[in-house]
Structure 1
Amino acid sequence: MGPQFVRAEPRDAPTLSALAWRAKKHWGYPEDWMQLWKGELTISPEDIERHEVIKIMGKARLAGFYALQNNERHHCTEIGHFWIEPACMGKGYGGMAFHHLLNKLRQKGEKRLIIESDPYAAGFYEKMGAQQIGRLESSISGRYLPVYEILLPDE
């Protein structure tokens, strides 16, 4: 049986923030960079109320989560967060969650998804069918993040 996908509740914010921190730290980033990203990795109860935040539950434990938000500049949806618990990486949770996310967007009639990716996640998004459309300067000077899109055709 695959993972369960459950809407997050505001009280989940500290748990989700801690998971995002562990997942980012997994890639060996320097501690000073991690501290700079602390705000970006923090999920607030208000974020959960304002955006669609979905927990990925596997075998009675939290395996990850994703958050979708409106990108008003591009008139589409973007991934605000997509994190897998390091102990659950490489076990298929990311792929199953990404397909869940895409199906949810198709059901809503969305046509386009934008992803500002961590460089370590770029290969995953490419494997999921995303096409790189640009890059964005990160909060670390001189470091750039790949930007991807997925077009969602009508089924």
Structure 2
Amino acid sequence: MTIERATRTDSKTLTELTMRSKSHWDYSMQQIEKWRDDLTISKDYITEKEVYKLIDSENKIIGYYSYFLINEVKVKLENLFVEPKFIGCGYGKMLMNDFIERIRKTRTEKIILDSDPNAENFYKKIGFKVIGKLETSIKNRFLPIMELKIKPVASKDYK
């Protein structure tokens, strides 16, 4: 398994993976279609954000994460998705570890994210805390807003 920067040519593959992964949580296809724009990983998105893909030994993308810097000390994890057949196999944790180690090399002190309610416990196990909630388009459904405080690696050579 390797984790490397996604390229613009990965756009369609990452979008399809996102749709399959989101569908894993028993959302209706009608609901997934309503979210299509939000779940689409465009070529421009890959250029503008930090997007890293997990590739298996057959050179297939089986997961990815994306993030962006909010400011010098805060980053937002925007996406973390794994192929449904690999959910629960440790690949999500592998992606999170890579992400955290990558941003620890910057001045980042806080990671924030808006979690799908089905993924909340995954993030809690890593150490994220719920700091708020975000109302969604589905009645009585809220996304937990979560935060993880980290200590940057001591270095004068921040990236």
| Paired AA for residue 150 in structure 2 | L
Cα distance in 2 between the residues matched to 1:42 and 1:154 = 31
Which position in structure 2 is the counterpart of 1:67?
Answer: 66
Structure 2 contact 73–109 (Cα < 8 Å) conserved: no
The Cα shift of 1:32 comes to 2.0
Cα distance in 2 between the residues matched to 1:31 and 1:144 = 19
| 3-state SS in 1 of match to 2:94 | helix
Which position in structure 1 is the counterpart of 2:94?
Answer: 96
Which position in structure 2 is the counterpart of 1:76?
Answer: 74
Alpha-carbon spacing, 1:151–1:52, altered in 2? closer, same or farther (3 Å): same
Which position in structure 2 is the counterpart of 1:9?
Answer: 7
| 3-state SS in 2 of match to 1:13 | helix
Cα distance in 2 between the residues matched to 1:75 and 1:33 = 35
Any idea what the Cα deviations from partners look like across 1:100-146, whole Å, max 9, x if unmatched?
10001100121110010001100100011101111001132432100
The Cα shift of 1:75 comes to 6.3
1:136 corresponds, among 134, 138, 148, to: 134
Alpha-carbon spacing, 1:114–1:92, altered in 2? closer, same or farther (3 Å): same
**TM-score (ref. length: structure 2):** 0.90
The farther-off stretch of 24-33 and 112-121 is 24-33
**TM-score (ref. length: structure 1):** 0.92
Which position in structure 2 is the counterpart of 1:124?
Answer: 122
Any idea what the Cα deviations from partners look like across 1:79-114, whole Å, max 9, x if unmatched?
111100011112111111101100011001211100
Which position in structure 2 is the counterpart of 1:145?
Answer: 143
Structure 2 contact 73–107 (Cα < 8 Å) conserved: no
- Runs (5+) with no aligned partner, structure 2: 154-159
1:27 equivalent in alignment to 2:30: no
Cα distance in 1 between the residues matched to 2:124 and 2:97 = 13
The farther-off stretch of 100-109 and 139-148 is 139-148
Cα distance in 1 between the residues matched to 2:80 and 2:21 = 10
Which position in structure 2 is the counterpart of 1:36?
Answer: 34
Any idea what the Cα deviations from partners look like across 1:46-84, whole Å, max 9, x if unmatched?
000000000011222211000012336x96211111100
Cα distance in 1 between the residues matched to 2:15 and 2:137 = 18
Number of residue pairs the alignment of both structures matches? 152
The Cα shift of 1:11 comes to 1.0
Cα distance in 1 between the residues matched to 2:74 and 2:138 = 26
Runs of 4 or more consecutive aligned structure 1 residues displaced over 4 Å after TM superposition: none
